[in-house]
Amino acid sequence: MTDVTEIEHCYIGRAGCGCVVAVAVDATYDLGAMVRTAECVAEFIRDGLTIERIPAETFRAKGFPFGHKCGKGRHDR
């Protein structure tokens, strides 16, 4: 079981338009989870996203803009 309170940071992927379209938790508590995080981030980079590491609290905050807010489709990169 993952204790979510241990998640302090996450990586977000920002598309060229500036919208945050991807997120991966920065999991430091579990080696398997860290590998998955690295794979996710590698995929974001392949998709051409800009990676930023932000506090998980910021991402969880109400109203954090996730997904395209610029009019593009939800799953567009």
Binding site for Zn ion (CB under 5 A): 17, 19, 68, 70, 72
Q: What's the closest the beta carbon of residue 24 comes to Zn ion, in angstroms?
A: 19
CB nearer to Zn ion: give 36 or 72. Answer: 72
Annotate the chain with DSSP letters as a single string. ---GGG--EEEEEE-TTS-EEEEEEE--S-HHHHHHHHHHHHHHHHTTPEEEEEEHHHHHSTT--BS-SSSS-TT--
Q: What's the closest the beta carbon of residue 75 comes to Zn ion, in angstroms?
A: 11
